[in-house]
Amino acid sequence: MTDHRSLHNLEIGFTGILGADGKPIGELPEFASNHKQLIALYRAMVLTRRLDEQAVALQRTGRLGTYASSLGQEAVGVGVAAAMNNNDVLLPSFREQGAQLVRGVTMVEILRYWGGDERGSCFEGPKEDFPAAIPVGSQFPHATGVALAMKLRNEARAAVVVGGDGSTSKGDFYEALNLAGVWQLPVVFVISNNQWAISVSRKKQTAAKTLAQKALAVGIAGEQVDGNDVIAVRFVVERALERARAGQGPSLIEALTYRLSDHTTADDATRYRPDEEVSARWKKEPVSRLRTYLTDLGAWTGKDEETLLNESTVQVEEAVTAYLATPLPQAGEMFDHLFESLPSDLENQRKQVEELSREKTDA
Amino acid sequence: MPEVDLLQAVNMALTKAMETDDRVIVLGEDVGVDGGVFRATNGLIERFGAERVRDTPLSEAGITGLSVGLAAQDFRPVLEIQFMGFIYPAIDQIINHASRLRNRTRGRLTCPMVLRAPFGGGIHAPEHHSESTEAMFAHIPGLRVVIPSSPKRAYGLLLAAIENPDPVVFLEPKRIYHVQKENVEDDGKALPLDRCFVLREGSDITLITWGAMIVETLAGADQLAEDGVSAEVIDVATLTPLDTDTIFSSVEKTGRCVIVHEAARTGGFGGEIAARLAEDGLLSLLAPVKRVTGYDTVIPMPRLEHHYMPSLDRILTAAREVLEYS
């Protein structure tokens, strides 16, 4: 006879604070009473969206490489980064420009990176933050290492790692989650569940009802949050970070959002997803939701909006100008950061590429 | 000065590195309480505690990625993978992250980690425990591949690998873990990386090898000496970046070269050395370069393993063929 034992509370919490119409549906966290803080979140989301628009336009006109827009997911990146302390460490996937901007990565750096220039990942701002991880899910184990370093040094800091829904099917995700659990590391795993891993829908990714419940298998906290509600995202990530920094262990947060854009500029989402689905999701997008709430509060006016849009446009245009004016790297630079100092075995190769590039320039 | 074998020398180097640098963290499966499946980390947990000597979950990809994060935070992780056959889940982290973190951040983040793994056959181990796939790692830019072949070199090269500011894959020839004992002074002195070691000077032929094949190659040089042939023996030690200077100056002197390795022939690192000689050392050569290697087969399980391993006879045959050219 099979004996059934109750091993775990299989309930997964869900936090939503603003409804899709911008009306509160949950208790507002303390920081939300400070309108300046809410406006800061709003401005960051608007700036992110403006940057994404401009980046796609640059790609379409041949002035940027393949680009992964975060359209519709701005609340995840911005909410996550707003919850972090400066001395926490962010390990982003490739769609977290919103988080990177809030962390202090500059738009010029972001554009340089997507423009095909490694110098874009040499951040002047958050020096310990990792560059965007391109191989999906490979960043999760790094976060456990960063968190272990913090724990070994007895620091009240934490690592925050962000991946997509598809990344939760990978071994790296499970291995990192498991390591974080067994060593109680100060790390917060955020899954930006935008429902699509290129053309594979969330339903085809896993039979699990939620992605957050994967935390339960490794004995750590798991919860869901409305990922289009920046107030809720900031709130739950802040709460998880406080636990992590206090030595109370890691968390997994599944932020439910939607990718309104193509996967990247190299993708055509109309091949695999119906327009009706996308237009229905536009009604839940995060930017207008917070704008409605701020407007209802009387904290935001049409004039404020106009000013912000103009400012954001100018900021992005300035960044684009600086990006386009970036001097090309020298050919020999591909050798300069392979090792701390170039092994003599590679000196000839460096010389060769330098000479050939000079010939090309001369010709 | 203690007389130790190669495995004990590894243990000595780990102990010394942990003593001198608090940032050194030893981690891996069974490296703590058990002292490692070969006992390379024996006694470390008692001496340095479970914070710095960490038994990890069974998670090769995870702990390699974790080491990347630790290294980026200025620790010096020394990670053990139990056998080369289990290293492959870690390759994604090594090729995509460990070896390129410095490059992709233009020096902002670095990855001073060491990944240790015993490699090679000849100890009658179970399936998947006997591979020699060092050439796969040698193909990865931004990575050093270091292989010791004596207790002294194990001690000095492991210290060098741990001190090195970049990632090192440190492959230990487990067949000779207990073959040779040497007096190794525990002085904390690192040997140079990126240098081949001339183990024996000679003027008629150059025998190039690394790892456990040092034993058969040196025996080959002894046999040749009895025939009146003076063989120079080079232990490559650091496969990448390769010290071609030592190799070229030897072949300039001898004009003949045999490369010996246990790994399969095609795509093996011997091919790289032979290609370098063909490109830049051809005019020094009096004879074709020969390779004595494992076959292009899956390394057999113990019943056939001895047929696979390059033998003293095969080395001598190749050397004599090369010597026949005038």
| Domains defined for chain A, CATH in brackets | 13-328 (3.40.50.970), 330-363 (no CATH)
Inter-chain contact B244–A345, Cβ cutoff 8 Å?
yes
Rounded mean pLDDT of A134-138?
A: 97
Give A 170-229 residues with CB within 8 A of chain B. Answer: 171-172, 175-176, 178-179, 182
Inter-chain contact A142–B89, Cβ cutoff 8 Å?
no
| Active site (annotated) includes residue A174 | no
What's the rounded Cα separation, in Å, for the pair A128 and A91? 9
Compare all CA atoms of chain B with the CA of A172 and give the residue at the minimum distance. Answer: B62
One-letter amino acid of A212 = A
Residue B326, pLDDT score: 81
Question: Rounded to 5 degrees, what are φ and ψ at A300?
Answer: -150, 130
- Token pair for residue B5? 């074998």
Residue A113, pLDDT score: 98
Q: Give pLDDT tens digits for A155-174.
A: 999 999 999 999 999 999 99
User: Which residue intervals of A247-301 are DSSP H helices?
Assistant: 275-282, 286-297
- Domain map (residue ranges) of chain B: 3-183, 197-324
Out of A118, A182, A339, closest to residue B106 by CB: A118
Q: Which residues pair with B172 in a beta bridge?
A: B118
- A159-164 and B205-209 strand pairing: unpaired
Out of A131, A149, A336, closest to residue B70 by CB: A149
| Active site (annotated) includes residue B129 | yes
Inter-chain contact A128–B72, Cβ cutoff 8 Å?
yes
Residue A4's pLDDT band (cuts 50, 70, 90): confident
A224 and A15 in contact (C-beta within 8 Å)?
Answer: yes
Q: Give pLDDT tens digits for B139-195.
A: 999 999 999 999 999 999 999 999 999 999 999 999 999 999 999 999 999 999 999
A62 CB near a chain B CB, below 8 Å? no
Inter-chain contact A345–B92, Cβ cutoff 8 Å?
no
Sheet with B238-240, side-by-side order of all strands: B53-55, B24-28, B76-80, B114-119, B168-173, B144-146, B238-240
Q: Give pLDDT tens digits for B35-91.
A: 999 999 999 999 999 999 999 999 999 999 999 999 999 999 999 999 999 999 999
Q: Is the pLDDT of residue A7 over 70?
A: no
Cα–Cα nearest to B217, from B204, B200, B229, B203: B200
Would you put residue B106 in left (φ > 0), alpha (ψ -120 to 50) or beta? left
B154 and B13 in contact (C-beta within 8 Å)?
Answer: yes
> Do the first three CATH levels of B3-183 and B197-324 match, i.e. the same topology?
yes
CB < 8 Å to A339, chain B: 102, 142, 165-166, 241
Question: Rounded to 5 degrees, what are φ and ψ at A39?
Answer: -65, -35
Out of B57, B62, B105, closest to residue A122 by CB: B105
- Token pair for residue A303? 């004039």
| Active site (annotated) includes residue A263 | yes
Whether ipTM > 0.95 holds is yes
Would you put residue A131 in left (φ > 0), alpha (ψ -120 to 50) or beta? beta
Q: Give A60-64's long-range contacts (Cβ < 8 A, gap of 24+).
A: A60/A265, A63/A115, A63/A324, A64/A111, A64/A114, A64/A115
Give A 74-93 residues with CB within 8 A of chain B. Answer: 91
Cα–Cα nearest to B46, from B66, B70, B18: B18
CB < 8 Å to B62, chain A: 141, 144, 171-172, 175-176, 178-179
Residue A5, pLDDT score: 72
- B197-200 and B182-183 strand pairing: unpaired
B166 and B115 in contact (C-beta within 8 Å)?
Answer: no
Residues in chain A: 363
Q: Is the pLDDT of residue A363 over 70?
A: no
Q: Report CA A112 to chain centroid distance, whole Å.
A: 17
Inter-chain contact A339–B57, Cβ cutoff 8 Å?
no
Inter-chain contact B62–A150, Cβ cutoff 8 Å?
no
Please give, rounded to a whole number of angstroms, the shortest distance from the CA of B160 to a CA of chain A. 14
Residue A129, pLDDT score: 98
A192 and A95 in contact (C-beta within 8 Å)?
Answer: yes
Q: Give pLDDT tens digits for B194-251.
A: 999 999 999 999 999 999 999 999 999 999 999 999 999 999 999 999 999 999 999 9
Out of A134, A150, A337, closest to residue B103 by CB: A337
Please give, rounded to a whole number of angstroms, the shortest distance from the CA of B57 to a CA of chain A. 7
What's the rounded Cα separation, in Å, for the pair A73 and A66? 18
Cα–Cα nearest to B304, from B85, B86, B122, B179: B122
Cα–Cα nearest to B159, from B116, B121, B118, B219: B116
Compare all CA atoms of chain B with the CA of A173 and give the residue at the minimum distance. Answer: B62
Residue A2, pLDDT score: 82
Inter-chain contact A142–B72, Cβ cutoff 8 Å?
yes
Q: Give pLDDT tens digits for A273-300.
A: 999 999 999 999 999 999 999 999 999 9
Q: Is the pLDDT of residue A20 over 70?
A: yes
> Could you write out the DSSP letters of every residue in A137-184?
TTHHHHHHHHHHHHHHTT-S--EEEEEETGGGGSHHHHHHHHHHHHTT
What's the rounded Cα separation, in Å, for the pair B159 and B77? 13
Inter-chain contact B56–A179, Cβ cutoff 8 Å?
yes
Query: Which CATH class, in words, describes the domain spanning B197-324?
Result: alpha beta
Sheet with B257-264, side-by-side order of all strands: B197-200, B231-235, B205-209, B257-264, B290-294
What's the rounded Cα separation, in Å, for the pair B106 and A340? 11
Q: Which residue has the tokens 């689905």?
A: A277
Domain B3-183 fold: Rossmann fold (3.40.50)
- Token pair for residue A351? 């010389």
One-letter amino acid of B313 = D
